[in-house]
Amino acid sequence: MASSSSFLLLLFSVISLTAIESMPAYFPGAIYQSSPHKQAKTTKPKIPYKTHYFPQLLDHFTFQPKSSKTFYQKYLVNNQYWHKGAPIFVYTGNEGDIDWFAANTGFMLDIAPKFHALLVFIEHRFYGESLPFGNKSYKSARTLGYLNSQQALADYAVLIRSLKKNLSSETSPVVVFGGSYGGMLAAWFRLKYPHIAIGALASSAPILQFDGITPWSSFYDAVSQDYKDASLNCYEVIRGCWAELDELSTQKEGLAEVSRTFKTCKNLRSIYSARDWLWSAFVYTAMVNYPMEANFMMPLPAYPVEEMCKIIDGLSPETTKLSRVFAAASLYYNYSQTEKCFKLEDDTDAHGLHGWDWQVKNSSANVQ
């Protein structure tokens, strides 16, 4: 027990120093709103990890006929600095393709040499390639019933124990890492499986963001405050654009006008597509408002909220609010200036987030 305490003390000392000396890791934000998009065939990021697949049990808690079904759960491993008996650092994957998180979590790579740690990133069931029912995984409540944090935590427990056994390194201490929902999973994993993990680092983990504990509006209050801090006028323009959008929805040619304003590749079929497109831009930008250029959700400049507000404030007050917020949202969708038009409908799900809506609404992962 004393050696575990000493290891954790050293780990958190290094964490403190690394936070000061290095650029912060990019962790996912608290909430995603994914429409029923198709999985995108995008180029995978180049990451220093080897891909593996583990035959995972579908249901860890019941004895129904389907419980013994298995699916292949994806996980990534980097053993560059590791030797037998050294620590194992595990990222408890959250709502998306695990390659995405591995490519944007440099912190674990930064500290791995210090601890000679094995790095493992485990993909969450029903995300990325870890689909228990393949293309039919999102087909019905019967299949989606296996998508919840309890099953995911059990997945991690089974995989970690199997990995340690196969590596003949069952004495290696395990520390779990995660950000946002993944951070919640890391904290819960340490609580539920203390015999497997000796510690957890939960970054930006809203573990108290539940009904009856935290006001339901707290997330959007924080988003709003980001824009208020950058420019009160900017905040008021964004706030006022929703009324303009509602007004256009009542007009005969409203959809056509919105399509022109938003430079859509095809005429819109629903006003809600424009609403959701703007929502995503302003919420996600607040979530990744880093002080340096980054490429997590999208390629963005440093302090992108401030840059958005500069665009809004720089346009004439005579310009419609919708035109101004479109110009600002274009920073999120087209900072690289490669898009000639925008697909607001029938777009792809580049990060494999499709199951998140179900999970937010139907399980203990509800952080809204």
Query: Among the three residues 147, 176, 203, which one is the final residue of a domain in this structure?
Result: 203
Number of structural domains, the chain? 2
CA–CA distance, 259 with 148 (Å, rounded to integer): 38
189 and 245 share one domain: no
Report the predicted TM-score, pTM, of the whole model to 2 decimal places: 0.81
- Judge whether 40 and 350 are in contact, CB under 8 Å: yes
Query: Among the three residues 203, 232, 260, which one is the final residue of a domain in this structure?
Result: 203
Q: Cα dihedral angle (32, 33, 36, 42), rounded to 10 degrees? A: -40
What's the pLDDT at 1?
56
CA dist list (Å): 70 to 130, 151, 319: 11, 13, 57
**pLDDT tens per residue across span 124-138:** 999 999 999 999 998
105 and 66 share one domain: yes
195 and 95 share one domain: yes
What's the pLDDT at 13?
52
92 and 35 share one domain: yes
What's the pLDDT at 327?
97
Instruction: Give residue 287's domain range.
Output: 218-337
163 and 224 share one domain: no
169 and 36 share one domain: yes
Higher pLDDT, 23 or 287: 287
139 and 228 share one domain: no
Report the alpha-carbon angle 164-169-173, nearest 5.
80
**pLDDT tens per residue across span 167-215:** 999 999 999 999 999 999 999 999 999 999 999 999 988 888 887 888 8
347 inside domain: no
Ordered DSSP codes for 44-103 = PPP-S-EEEEEEEES-SS--SGGGG-EEEEEEEEE-TT--TTS-EEEEE--SS-HHHHHH
11 and 121 share one domain: yes
Strands 70-78 and 118-122: antiparallel
368 inside domain: no
**CATH code, domain carrying 63:** 3.40.50.1820
Q: Which residues are within 8 A (CB) of 270 and not within 5 positions of it... i.e. 6 or more apart?
A: 255, 345
Query: Among the three residues 203, 233, 265, which one is the final residue of a domain in this structure?
Result: 203
17 and 49 share one domain: yes
- Whether 262 has a pLDDT exceeding 80, the answer reads yes
230 and 258 share one domain: yes
287 inside domain: yes
209 inside domain: no
234 inside domain: yes
What's the pLDDT at 294?
87
**CATH code, domain carrying 309:** 1.20.120.980
Long-range CB pairs of 304-310 (<8 Å, 24+ gap) are 304/331, 304/332, 304/335, 305/226, 305/227, 305/230, 306/230, 307/331, 308/227, 308/230, 308/234, 308/282, 308/332, 309/227, 309/230, 309/231, 309/233, 309/234, 310/231
Confidence band for 41, pLDDT divided at 50, 70 and 90: very low
116 inside domain: yes
119 inside domain: yes
320 inside domain: yes
325 and 280 share one domain: yes
**pLDDT tens per residue across span 144-156:** 999 999 999 999 9
27 and 157 share one domain: yes
Higher pLDDT, 75 or 106: 75
Which range scores top for mean pLDDT: 269-278, 341-350, 358-367?
Answer: 269-278
Residue with the two structure tokens 């539940």: 210
